Amino acid sequence: MTFWIDTHCHLDAGEFSADVGAVRLRAADSGVVHCVLPAVGLANFAAVRSLAHEFSYSYALGIHPLYVPQAQDGDLQALDAALARGRADPRLVAVGEIGLDYFVPALTQSPMRERQEFFYREQLKLARKHGLPVILHVRRSADKLLKHLRDQQPEGGWRGIAHAFNGSSQQAMEFTKLGFKLGFGGAVTYEPALQLRRLAAELPLDALVMETDAPDIPPQWLYTTAAQRAQGQAQGRNEPGELPRIAQQVADLRGMPLEALAAATTANALQALPKLRNLVP
């Protein structure tokens, strides 16, 4: 069996509240040996920490750009304190999920656009202070994310993951030059996603990590259209156990064996998030 790391999933989401233990078992049965659980705001710091310890996974702490509107300035101090308390916790592997979202209209207008940048910039400073990689939310914001990464670059360079990457080839290479790996998940399974599938096929192998973003970004086989949902057909729930099937499509696009992709993306994940080296069996 091939073995995988799901570098980004949200098992603390309400969609998993009834059967998260069964979700974990299905993941293990499919070869997913480890999941990274990023927080999205102060309110779920305890949940991702608890799940990571219960399931022998890992977690990241941060304030997601979609949660900036309800965040307080004091949340940054609370994050700083949580990162300090977690310094000795081997399962705290990154600051995340942080970044910028220029897709949601309400977040692209002033003053919320500036507030997003403020929270992103301050969290990069905290990642530098605590010596942690970052897990980035990238949605129509790659160039601005790169600008702040360059401005805040630590002496030893960055490590981390640009989650759900869907930018240009040039932007992809700029992230990798700064020390980032690029996360690929369910979106790559859609045949109309030509640019994303081209990236998955052509980027250097050492740039890729695999993820699900579960329960979000369902692969093509779980997706239902609005018309189908109106007729009562439920949307399939994404979960970590879908990762090997998603990865098979990436392997097919690259014309390589699935086992080789598993080995490479696992090694890449350990490079992006070095504390995983002591956690992944």
Going along the chain from its start, the domains and CATH numbers come out as 4-278 (3.20.20.140)
pTM over 0.85: yes
- Tokens of residue 185, six digits: 């998940």
Query: Could you tell me the CA-to-CA distances from 49 to 5, 82, 83, 191, 241 in Å, in that order?
Result: 18, 11, 12, 36, 21
The pLDDT of residue 252 is: 98
- Count of C-beta atoms within a 10 Å radius of residue 275: 16
Paired sense of beta strands 134-139 and 92-101, if any? parallel
pLDDT string in tens for the chain (281-residue length): 799 999 999 999 999 999 999 999 999 999 999 999 999 999 999 999 999 999 999 999 999 999 999 999 999 999 999 999 999 999 999 999 999 999 999 999 999 999 999 999 999 999 999 999 999 999 999 999 999 999 999 999 999 999 999 999 999 999 999 999 999 999 999 999 999 999 999 999 999 999 999 999 999 999 887 788 778 777 789 999 999 999 999 999 999 999 999 999 999 999 999 999 999 97
Residues 6+ apart with CB under 8 A from 100: 65, 116, 117, 120, 137, 138, 139, 141, 144, 145
The pLDDT of residue 210 is: 98
- Distance between CA 81 and CA 59 in Å, rounded? 16
